[in-house]
Chain A
Amino acid sequence: MTNHWIDIKNADSILIMGSNAAEHHPISFKWVLKAKDAGATVMHVDPKFSRTSARSDFHVPLRSGTDIAFLGGMIKYILDNEKYFKEYVVEYTNAALVVGKEFGFKDGLFTGYDPKTRTYDKSKWGFEMDANGVPKRDKSLKNPRCVLQLMRKHYSRYGVDAVSATTGVPAKDLLKVYENFAATGRGDKAGTVMYALGWTQHTVGVQNIRSAGIIQLLLGNIGVAGGGINALRGEPNVQGSTDHTLLYHIIPGYMAMPHNGWQTYDEYVKGNTPVSKDPMSANWWQHKPKYFASLLKAWYGDHATKENGFCYELLPKIEKGGDYSYLFLFDRMYRGKIRGGIIIGLNPMNSVPNSNKLRKALDNLEWLVTSELHHSETTDNWHRPGVDPKKVKTEVFLLPSAHRLEKEGSVTNSGRWLLWHYKAVEPAFEAKPFGDMFCGFMGRVKKLYAKEGGKLPEAVTWLDYPEKYDPDDLCARINGRFTKDTEFKGKMYKKGQQVPTFTALKDDGSTMSLNWLYAGSYTEEDGNKAKRRSTEQTEMQKNIGLYPKWAWCWPVNRRILYNRASVDLNGKPYNKAKAVIEWKDGKWVGDVPDGGWPPMATGKGRYPFIMHKHGFGQLFGPGRQDGPFSEHYEPVETPVTKNLFSGQLNSPVYKFVSSDMDKLCKPADPKYPVVLTTYSVTEHWCGGGETRNIPNLLEAEPQLYVEMSPELAKEKGINNGDGVVVESIRGRVEAIAMVTVRMRPFKVHGRVIHEIGMPFCFGWTTPGTGDSTNRLTPFVGDPNTTIPEFKACCVNIRKADKLTELAT
């Protein structure tokens, strides 16, 4: 989230799209309803009518996978009707930047496309530079190659008729949402966007969010109270686990994973540190070497020196452009190329697409370590229905893990707040925290290498790694320490003392930090700030619900990101009634500003979007794999044969693998005419591995069902409560029919298309509840993230003759 949960109350217009916040982030809705009570309009755009829709001012159903068409229509509406916040757009976004002549777009493809590799050469999308190497700007916005004019041209195709025929949303409903949300394109109004997996889980997931980013920048809604792009992050600590990076492509603190093209520390630093020639651009990532060196120093301790590139050469290097995500991992596993691994607190045999393939793939492992609260479809895959365990070779280790109340440590919420949880009781039975498991086996692996030697032993033996899991000490190490006596801002710090902030980090080996973003969270001066529980606030902070002394928030306790875009060039808030920061008597008051420089008008300021090289909000985003503007493409499995916006039916760069189990049905396949979307329920958590074991939760939601419209039910001869079979080209799933007006047929391309919806929280280890819905979904991924397309695929549905997976 650019903002935070409480801040939702400040919005004048709330667009909930790709999320069912009331059911999946129930407590967030407290703040949505506060905004509504204060007069905000709440709009829910989603295929299914849910409790979010029920509490919104209105619900607008749209066909799954057509969000970009919907939002592209809104961008066109904002531009055509001059609803954008002009001063903000000119001064703070890249609207005025002039794009290079090589950029172009034709029939669904941007320039630079290579059909052989299915990738773009992004160098074709650069900006024009002046003689000093600074991007050319035309603040009049008249240059036909400036971003705003190119954007006008790009989205000119997104007229209401084409959008309506694609999304299935009637024109009047489109306009209702566009008018309401676009009305926030002025200084004294704010609109917020709340999204979740309904946007990310598509082959155009990133561009769904980019579309909202474009809208929010046009309307001047980024950096302000009640604005922002707010990802309702799903998992309990998914913000923290992303920051600390249980992902292949980055290392902690959002730095790139080393690849084979960067063989040395110097090559890595050169390849990853952006340079701006514009004195007005803060270009914050210019400091990356300090954060990178401090991370390596934290990993390898005294062994990491400036002379040896802080042990950089010991690190693994991915193959440049290589993909090591779930999709490719499971495909390699299916092909027998993976020997063993660790799956903890995760149930991919239920919650990752194409489960039938995944379940077979897992059989190919020699060994598997798991750690869970309960048995799951993953831990017990070796004796799943229909499989003879005597033929499965995998050696499986299942370790009982501690529950939240049984361990202490920190987590980071969606609003980036660092929160400490205390240990209430000893872990039940023989359970232990994951931390004990990691320290337990790594200590042993280190000893084995010390004793026996082996391949590249120093990568392991030189590691500065805790022998015993101590969350408090690790939390302090995440903040970072001085590794020698150092003076910082007139104060002496001893070796081993905590760094006060990330500006104290250096690339000479004198500091260590496991994550620069968290520097400042645990200091000599204030201790562990995750534990703070003070509601102290100034009147200005109270007015917008900021609690600067409750816990701590990255970066530097800044609660609303890019907040310098909430003030004009003189540092005065655009919205005086809901000011986030203000320049008063020579200093900033309110939230922690995005950099302490004085206002822009003084000539000593910096552009507010400090994490971007040029300092501007990116209406034109040249860094993405699938284009600098968003473009509608149909889901990979689609009920239509044409894209009304171009000749390119699907994303030209979506990711996929090919095997005998990765089948995709053809466009508008008559065998699979119905669109399927999947979702969670309030009472179960994602794949359900945990909550299905809680009797009171299972009683509330006991069995797999499929929601379908009365019209489709009639067509298929299905009654409410009937057992049904849902089939895709990849698998079949049994469910109970729930015939409901919550699902409605869509009028798309001049004909009726039906959509059904299913939860995915049931699995065979809880007998009688049903089994993985993801046996139906395809494993195809977004080109930027490889997040799979759970939310839209094609199936058929029929009444079941007999049920075997469900208790009746």
Chain B
Amino acid sequence: MKLDRRSFIKLAGSSAACLTLGQLGVSLAPVKAYASGIKISGAKEVVTVCPFCSVSCHVIGHVKDGKLVNAEGDPDYPINEGALCAKGAAMFSMTTGKHRLQKPLYRAPYSDKWEEKDWDWMLDRIARRIKDTRDKDLILKNEKGDTVNRLESMFLLGTSHAGNEECAIAHQAMRSLGVVHMDHQARI
């Protein structure tokens, strides 16, 4: 009988007929004491997919009080069976580290520094830049007189780090604007 991790836990927990280690004369007190102190006890398990190579190993994130407390390989996923490489194993530190960008940053033309801005300010200004570029540069007809509706002077690069849903709307947005210079990691 092959059991995955969850059904094993369920079976072990629900079956009164099961022999426990205690009945076998093994004292569980120190193990229990340790377990009550481990960082994932009582944590919610959330399944995610490692954000590196496309083996797409599954990772379980343990969340306690809204905070990530641990991340480790998902033993039930039939491909990685709980295993992770060095990068996958670093999921916890890469998510929680202090090295992350914290706020939207803006660098004005010819400036030598970043300035912190809020998201709305940034998005308003980006939208203005996009519209002005499109209104200035959209090519409605080519030299032969064919309709082409092309915005050659704006581009999108990236990214295969985005999810499928993000890629779908990124493509849709770019084509509606007339963008033809579009590329990402698949061509590297």
Contact = CB atoms under 8 A, between A and B. Distances in A.
Given A247-B182, A445-B131, A471-B166, 11 more contacts: A324-B181, A325-B183, A340-B154, A399-B104, A424-B46, A454-B134, A465-B173, A514-B168, A682-B87, A785-B187, A790-B188
Interface string B128-139: 111101111110
A243 interface: yes
A5 B187 contact: no
Nearest to A697: B90
A181 interface: no
Contacts of A414: 54-56
Contacts of A375: 101
Contact of B127 (A344, A445, A459): A445
A424 B173 CA distance: 28
Contacts of B112: 383, 389-390
B94 A395 contact: no
Given A390-B112, A421-B47, A435-B166, A28 B55 contact: yes
B29 interface: no
B8 interface: no
B158 interface: yes
B55 A25 contact: yes
B150 A318 contact: yes
A246 B48 contact: no
Interface string A689-707: 0110111110010000000
Contacts of A372: 101
Contacts of B122: 397, 399
A247 B183 contact: yes
Contacts of A535: 4, 76, 78
B160 A338 contact: no
Interface string A318-350: 110010111011001000011111111110100
Given A405-B61, A434-B166, A251 B171 contact: yes
B25 to A, nearest CB: 35
The residue in A318, A398, A515, A785 that gathers the most chain B C-beta atoms within 10 A of its C-beta is A398
B84 to A, nearest CB: 7
A284 B97 CA distance: 49
B11 interface: no
Contacts of A691: 87, 90, 94
B108 interface: yes
Nearest to B136: A339
A515 B167 CA distance: 11
Interface in A500-516: 514-515
Interface bin, chain B: 35 or more
A573 B28 CA distance: 53
B104 A430 contact: yes
29 contacts: A27-B55, A27-B84, A30-B80, A234-B54, A236-B52, A237-B54, A237-B162, A238-B186, A244-B164, A246-B170, A317-B148, A332-B152, A339-B153, A348-B157, A373-B100, A399-B119, A404-B50, A410-B164, A422-B46, A424-B48, A424-B61, A425-B61, A435-B169, A459-B178, A466-B169, A514-B172, A547-B78, A683-B87, A700-B86
A405 B46 contact: yes
A367 interface: yes
A456 B178 contact: yes
B142 A319 contact: yes
Contacts of B56: 236, 411, 413-414, 417, 419
A441 B104 contact: no
Contacts of A434: 159, 161-162, 166, 170
Given A238-B186, A438-B166, A682-B86, A397 B156 contact: no
Contacts of B18: none
A232 interface: yes
A624 interface: no
Interface in A393-419: 393-401, 403-407, 409-414, 417-419
A239 B54 contact: yes
A374 B46 contact: no
B186 A242 contact: yes
Nearest to B66: A425
Nearest to A444: B127
A344 B126 CA distance: 14
B102 A246 contact: no
Given A425-B61, A456-B178, A533-B76, A5 B95 contact: no
Given A318-B150, A440-B123, A685-B87, A694 B93 contact: yes
Interface stretch (A146-154, A308-316, A610-618): A308-316
A469 B38 CA distance: 36
Most buried by B among A246, A390, A690: A246
Interface residues of A, number: 163
B110 A391 contact: yes
B131 A260 contact: no
Given A246-B167, A374-B101, A405-B48, A424 B154 contact: no
Nearest to B124: A444
| Among all A-B residue pairs, the 10 with the closest Cβ atoms | A345-B159, A409-B163, A444-B127, A346-B158, A235-B160, A413-B56, A341-B155, A345-B161, A244-B167, A424-B61
Contacts of A518: 164
B37 interface: no
B47 A422 contact: yes
A319 B112 CA distance: 39
B79 A27 contact: yes
B162 A241 contact: yes
A395 B54 contact: no
A103 interface: no
B32 interface: no
Interface string B55-84: 111110101001110010000111111011
A741 interface: no
B10 interface: no
Contacts of A406: 95
Contacts, number: 473
Interface in A446-501: 448-449, 452, 454-456, 459-460, 463, 465-466, 469, 471, 474-475, 477-478
A102 interface: no
Contacts of B128: 448
B66 to A, nearest CB: 6
Output the residue of B81, B107, B125 with the most chain A CB within 10 A. Answer: B107
B187 A232 contact: no
A66 interface: no
A163 B104 CA distance: 55
B172 A410 contact: no
Nearest to B122: A397
A25, A261, A324 interface centre (most CB from chain B within 10 Å): A324
Contact of A317 (B86, B90, B150, B163): B150
A236 B160 contact: yes
Contacts of A435: 162-163, 165-166, 169
Nearest to A449: B131
A358 to B, nearest CB: 11
A438 B169 contact: yes
A442 interface: yes
A225 B34 CA distance: 46
B147 interface: yes
Contacts of B87: 682-685, 691, 697
Given A394-B109, A456-B178, A341 B157 contact: yes
Contacts of B19: none
A520 interface: no
Given A299-B175, A405-B91, A686 B49 contact: no
Contacts of A25: 53-55
A456 B94 CA distance: 44
A787 interface: yes
Contact of B57 (A27, A234, A340, A697): A27
Interface in A19-35: 24-28, 30
Nearest to B121: A397
A316 B49 contact: no
B129 A246 contact: no
B163 to A, nearest CB: 3
A337 B153 contact: yes
